[in-house]
């Protein structure tokens, strides 16, 4: 078996892959595979979009096809260029490349308008003056058929005249809409004369002030797919009931190459909200510090937090592609992140709550350059130098004046090993005027570098440290889950904001990091030994003040809490 065949055999099978493979075998669409990712530029992409991106781009890549990036920019009132730029950056960061050029639904506004005129001419679309409240009343319910609009049987000539007036901006916003004439008694409510065009007297970020009417997503979607030659239009499951409408437009317009729509279950993650409206509320009301806040489930937020594109892609592969809705445990995402960082993140030492230690028997002016592996299991990642001197910092939590045998760190009168360095013994505690511990006086055993004490003393504990005069003063941001509730937006009568975790961000100043981290670059992941995985912040870190974000803890601290709740 070739390497290519082995890779193909190792890929998990799912129904979308099977459909495309079967189409290729039967020469459907002349054997072509052309997918698309069609985001709305009204917010940043989130973890759910990552699944869709991976699916659409990977299927095109696997079957030697193409994948378009098309912005569904049919609602200019909520769209911004900043969102477009962020979406492009997210896709590229994930490691995918779209088929050039970038497409916009607005590229097809002229053709969509002409097709709307065609449907009017065929007696299959009409201008309706029902108010929104009247339209809801006429539409019916899931159990009751709708009833025809009083404007449904206008003549073709009158509809063409009114639609032209809509296009020219001669009619007020909300005064009327263009609707498809399908079936007001259909059990599928999406076929009850859906809206095709609304009047909007707003400027568009791509077309300027050319248009006073804008098409709906349902009208735009299938026709844009057809224009671009899309073969497999892959959507999330909420569009399943829209598929008959998607097909109605294609069947009733002069379109030869017709794409097919397929639906898969969207990604639902616990302890998370992915509603764009709610994510925007978090940003607008200042509960987080922007769309790329590391607590946000946005791709930009996870990137800033230190999650790698490989970890996100692996997670999307782990959860698979299915037809039935389910909720994925966020622990699976965290496992993918930890696994990736454990294998690939170089090690470093950073003392989050520093306590000075003076090694009294170490030469006053001596600075020793010790060596430490960048990764314990990857010698190919090389080594780094650790300056060692008379004064060092350890963590406050790594010292006690008295402790039982289970405590494996530094205790007054006892010994502990410094990571990649010597064994030290705590001899004396120095207090300040308030009675607080100011520093620890210790002695070191110069014969214990890289080996156990010669007289057979057993030192069980190992703690991390940094040299006091050769360290970096850094800010450390300890990020945690944004929500305490497993399903923060499940109850309609409870504001999801009440479930925000008040400890989702703790900022520590005056942390002491080893000097090698001066060479860290933004987004580079490190394991701060015994503390967790961190990365240099891509925006706030400066040469004078490095800022490190905690990506994730070393171990899952939530599983125990979940079992207790």
- Strands 525-528, 347-348: pairing is parallel
- Strands 66-71, 368-373: pairing is unpaired
Q: Is residue 312 part of a domain?
A: yes
Same domain, 387 and 360: yes
Residue 406 has pLDDT above 50, yes or no: yes
CB-based contacts of 119, cutoff 8 Å, min separation 6: 125, 180, 196, 252, 253
Indicate the pLDDT class of residue 257, thresholds 50, 70 and 90: confident
Which of 446, 464, 482 is where one domain is finished?
464
Dihedral of CA atoms 529, 532, 533, 537 in degrees, nearest 10, equals: -100
User: What are φ and ψ of residue 248, in 5° steps?
Assistant: -65, -45
DSSP run (H or E) holding 428: strand 423-431
Domain count, the chain: 4
Dihedral of CA atoms 298, 302, 304, 308 in degrees, nearest 10, equals: -140
Same domain, 171 and 228: no
- Spatial separation of the C-alpha atoms in residues 175 and 197, rounded to whole Å: 12
- Spatial separation of the C-alpha atoms in residues 293 and 217, rounded to whole Å: 30
Predicted local confidence at residue 562, as pLDDT: 53
Residue 9 has pLDDT above 70, yes or no: no
Same domain, 231 and 94: yes
Six token digits for residue 403? 């402790």
Q: Is residue 159 part of a domain?
A: yes
Predicted local confidence at residue 372, as pLDDT: 96
Q: Is residue 333 part of a domain?
A: no
Residue 297 has pLDDT above 80, yes or no: yes
DSSP string, 533-545: EEEE-TTT--SSS
Predicted local confidence at residue 7, as pLDDT: 45
| Closest alpha carbon to 372 in 359, 381, 361 | 381
What's 364-418 look like in SS3?
Answer: CCCCEEEEEECCCCCHHHCEEEEEECCEEEEEHHHEECCCCCCCCCEEECCEEEE
DSSP run (H or E) holding 138: helix 132-139
Six token digits for residue 453? 């004490």
Q: Is residue 285 part of a domain?
A: yes
Same domain, 287 and 188: no
For 153-181, what is each residue's pLDDT tens digit? 999 999 999 999 999 999 999 999 999 99
Q: Is residue 10 part of a domain?
A: no
Asked if residues 226 and 68 have their Cβ atoms less than 8 Å apart, the reply is no
Q: Is residue 339 part of a domain?
A: no
- Spatial separation of the C-alpha atoms in residues 87 and 94, rounded to whole Å: 11
Which of 440, 464, 488 is where one domain is finished?
464
Residue 6 has pLDDT above 70, yes or no: no
For 211-233, what is each residue's pLDDT tens digit? 999 999 999 999 999 999 999 99
Indicate the pLDDT class of residue 455, thresholds 50, 70 and 90: confident
Predicted local confidence at residue 454, as pLDDT: 80
Same domain, 271 and 146: no
- CATH at residue 514: 2.40.240.10
For 106-142, what is each residue's pLDDT tens digit? 999 999 999 999 999 999 999 999 999 999 999 999 9
**What separation in angstroms does the CA of 558 have from each of 340, 386, 485, 513, 532?**
19, 34, 12, 27, 15
Asked if residues 348 and 42 have their Cβ atoms less than 8 Å apart, the reply is no
For 300-349, what is each residue's pLDDT tens digit? 999 999 999 999 999 999 999 999 888 999 999 999 999 999 999 999 99
Indicate the pLDDT class of residue 12, thresholds 50, 70 and 90: low
- CATH at residue 193: 3.90.800.10
Same domain, 195 and 294: no
Predicted local confidence at residue 563, as pLDDT: 47
Q: Is residue 340 part of a domain?
A: no
Same domain, 117 and 211: yes
Q: What percent of the chain has pLDDT over 70?
A: 96
Q: Is residue 168 part of a domain?
A: yes
Which of 200, 216, 232 is where one domain is finished?
216
Helices 47-62 and 309-319, interaxial angle, to 10°?
80
DSSP string, 285-336: TTSSSSTT-TTSSBHHHHHHHT--HHHHHHHHHHH---SS--EE-HHHHHHH
Same domain, 57 and 39: yes
Per-range mean pLDDT, top range of 5-19, 449-463, 493-507: 493-507
Predicted local confidence at residue 325, as pLDDT: 87
Indicate the pLDDT class of residue 456, thresholds 50, 70 and 90: confident
- CATH at residue 64: 3.40.50.620
Across the range 87-92, mean pLDDT stands at: 98
Preceding peptide of 50 cis, ω within 30°: no
Same domain, 313 and 388: no
Residue 98 is given by DSSP the state: P
Same domain, 360 and 457: yes
Residue 21 has pLDDT above 70, yes or no: yes
Asked if residues 11 and 17 have their Cβ atoms less than 8 Å apart, the reply is yes
Same domain, 174 and 245: no
Mean pLDDT of the chain: 94
Report, as residue numbers or ranges, the catalytic residues.
40, 266, 276
Same domain, 31 and 128: no
Q: Which domain holds residue 402?
A: 350-464
Across the range 274-297, mean pLDDT stands at: 97
Residue 445 has pLDDT above 60, yes or no: yes
Asked if residues 38 and 344 have their Cβ atoms less than 8 Å apart, the reply is no
- Spatial separation of the C-alpha atoms in residues 34 and 146, rounded to whole Å: 38
Asked if residues 380 and 416 have their Cβ atoms less than 8 Å apart, the reply is no
């Amino acid at each position: 078996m070739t390497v290519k065949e082995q890779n193909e055999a190792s890929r998990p099978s799912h129904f979308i892959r099977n459909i495309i493979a079967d189409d290729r075998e039967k020469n459907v669409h002349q054997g072509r595979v052309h997918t698309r990712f069609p985001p709305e530029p009204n917010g940043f992409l989130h973890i759910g979009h990552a699944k869709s991106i991976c699916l659409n781009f990977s299927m095109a890549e696997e079957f030697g096809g193409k994948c378009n990036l098309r912005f569904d920019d049919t609602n200019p009132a909520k769209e911004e260029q900043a969102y477009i730029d962020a979406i492009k950056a997210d896709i590229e960061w994930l490691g995918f490349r779209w088929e050039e050029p970038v497409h916009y639904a607005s590229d097809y506004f002229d053709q969509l308008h002409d097709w709307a005129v065609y449907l009017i001419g065929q007696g299959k679309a009409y201008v309706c003056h029902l108010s929104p409240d009247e339209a809801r009343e006429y539409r019916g319910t899931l159990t009751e058929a709708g009833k025809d609009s009083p404007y449904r049987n206008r003549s073709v000539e009158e509809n063409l005249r009114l639609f032209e007036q809509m296009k020219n901006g001669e009619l007020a916003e909300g005064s009327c809409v263009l609707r498809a004439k399908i079936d007001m008694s259909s059990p599928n409510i999406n076929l009850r004369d859906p809206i095709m065009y609304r009047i909007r007297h707003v400027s568009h970020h791509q077309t300027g002030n050319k248009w006073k009417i804008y098409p709906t997503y349902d009208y735009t979607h299938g026709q844009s797919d057809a224009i671009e030659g899309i073969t497999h239009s892959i959507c999330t499951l909420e569009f399943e009931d829209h598929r008959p409408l998607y097909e109605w437009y294609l069947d009733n317009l002069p379109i030869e190459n017709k794409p097919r729509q397929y639906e898969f279950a969207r990604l639902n993650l616990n302890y998370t909200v992915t509603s764009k409206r709610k994510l925007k509320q978090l940003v607008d009301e200042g509960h987080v510090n922007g769309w790329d806040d590391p607590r946000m489930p946005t791709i930009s937020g996870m990137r800033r937090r230190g999650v790698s594109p490989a970890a996100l892609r692996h997670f999307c592969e782990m959860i698979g592609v299915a037809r039935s809705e389910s909720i994925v445990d966020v622990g699976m995402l965290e496992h993918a992140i930890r696994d990736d960082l454990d294998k690939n993140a170089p090690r470093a030492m950073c003392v989050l709550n520093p306590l000075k230690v003076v090694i009294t028997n170490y030469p006053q002016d001596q600075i020793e350059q010790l060596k430490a592996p960048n990764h314990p299991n990857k010698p190919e990642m090389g080594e780094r130098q650790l300056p060692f001197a008379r004064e060092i910092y350890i963590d406050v939590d790594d010292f006690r004046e008295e402790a039982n045998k289970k405590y494996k760190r530094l205790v007054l009168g006892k010994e502990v090993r410094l990571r990649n360095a010597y064994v030290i013994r705590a001899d004396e505690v120095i207090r300040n005027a308030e009675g607080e511990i100011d520093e620890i006086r210790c002695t070191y055993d110069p014969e214990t570098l890289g080996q156990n004490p010669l007289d057979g003393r057993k030192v069980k504990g190992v703690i991390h440290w940094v040299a006091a005069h050769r360290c970096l003063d850094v800010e450390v941001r300890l990020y945690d889950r944004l929500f305490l509730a497993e399903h923060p937006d499940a109850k309609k009568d409870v504001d999801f904001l009440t479930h925000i975790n008040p400890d989702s961000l703790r900022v520590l100043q005056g942390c002491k990091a080893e000097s090698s981290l001066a060479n860290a670059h933004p987004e580079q992941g490190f394991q701060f030994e015994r503390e967790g995985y961190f990365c240099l912040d891509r925006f706030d870190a400066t040469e004078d003040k490095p800022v490190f974000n905690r990506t994730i803890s070393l171990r899952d601290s939530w599983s125990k809490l979940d079992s207790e709740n």
